[in-house]
Structure 1
Amino acid sequence: MIPSRLLASVLLVAAPAAFAFDFKSVGPAPVILYDTPTSKGAKLYVAPSGMPLQVMLSYGDWVKVRDMNGEVAWTPAKGLSARRSVVVRTPGAKVFAGPDDTSQVLMTADKGVMLELVDPTALAWVRVRHRDGILGFMRSNDVWGL
């Protein structure tokens, strides 16, 4: 029998891993999102290349995903990439030269703008790249896809 203190410690350490989110991005080609894990299901919409998706569940060659708006759908796993992107969720979010508010503002991004995630391990600030080549830092709470 496992002592209750030891069991509680093990569960406490394991809990964060159980709640970690797995994000992937749509690969080089757009993917179709379906209502069921089969191409015979109803087509919900086409997700553009680079769009971040939260992977909720894998089922054979299919994955159940959630988009920025909370919509849930299925898509073939082969259409997703480990290369990460994020979407700006705060209107007028700023991209800074450094990871602090006093750094130079390099650009302002509108809500819905997709950015490449350069450093997926960051916490409070994330390093991002705009398709025009601008590389900088944003507050993690200004983007979706982490």
Structure 2
Amino acid sequence: MAPEDTRAAASAIPGVLPAPLPDPEQSNGSGPVLGPVTNLPLPRFLSMKTERTNVRRGPSKTHRIDWEFLRRGMPVEVVAEYGHWRRIRDHDGMGGWVHYALISGHRTVLVEQDMLELRFRPDSDSRITAKLEAGVIADLDECTLDWCKVSVAGYKGWAPKTALWGVMADEIRE
């Protein structure tokens, strides 16, 4: 869906459109784009709080449900804000609007590489602590420029950031 289509569908009142959404792709060079509601950076990653979440065409309950998330903890990228609504995008690029109460600040990542080796230290020569299948959702702990420490089902370890979806390439977490 083109951004113009989203803005046109964003109002339940014919002829009335909400304020233009910030475009995370266009920064004025003075720093990150901040959301008009939360004043937090856009885009940013969060996770789904519930097992079943309606994803709507626009930012209100009057807008049609386009599809549903059926997996709690799935990482999503927040790309816009409007009132109590957040426009999100998933790993496959599918997007829509969800109520902020259905999104959690708990950070997770989606494993993109099949049989991803978790390492004891952030080093490719470090011993392997576990192997994860593609599609596994893991809790995100800390990150360096190239590695992230994750945990899932009692296993912990470091994985190359490039094998994970749900963390920014330049993000560092302590």
Query: TM-score normalised by the shorter chain: which range applies?
Result: 0.7 to 0.9
Name the residue aligned to 1:33. 55
1:78 counterpart SS class: helix
Identity of aligned residues (%): 23
Residue 90 of structure 1, CA deviation: 1.4
Distance (whole Å) between structure 2 residues aligned to residue 77 and residue 47 of structure 1: 17
Is the 1:35–1:42 contact (alpha carbons within 8 Å) kept by the matching residues of 2?
A: yes
Is the 1:62–1:74 contact (alpha carbons within 8 Å) kept by the matching residues of 2?
A: yes
1:5-54 CA-partner distances (Å, limit 9, x unpaired) = xxxxxx65x25x24863111112554222222223312411242111100
1:55 counterpart SS class: strand
| Unaligned 5+ runs, structure 1 | 1-10
Q: Which has the higher contact order (CA 8 A, sep 6+)?
A: 1
**Structure 1: 4+ residue segments shifted above 6 A:** none
Name the residue aligned to 2:107. 84
Tell me the TM-score normalized by structure 2: 0.69
Name the residue aligned to 2:159. 138
Query: Which of 45, 51, 75 is the equivalent residue of 1:52?
Result: 75
2:113 counterpart SS class: coil
Name the residue aligned to 1:128. 150
Residue 118 of structure 1, CA deviation: 0.9
1:96 and 1:20, CA in 2 relative to 1: closer, same or farther beyond 3 A? Answer: farther
| Unaligned 5+ runs, structure 2 | 1-27, 34-40, 168-174
Tell me the TM-score normalized by structure 1: 0.81
* Bigger helix fraction: 1
Distance (whole Å) between structure 1 residues aligned to residue 123 and residue 65 of structure 2: 45
The count of corresponding residues between Structure 1 and Structure 2 is: 132
Residue 108 of structure 1, CA deviation: 1.4
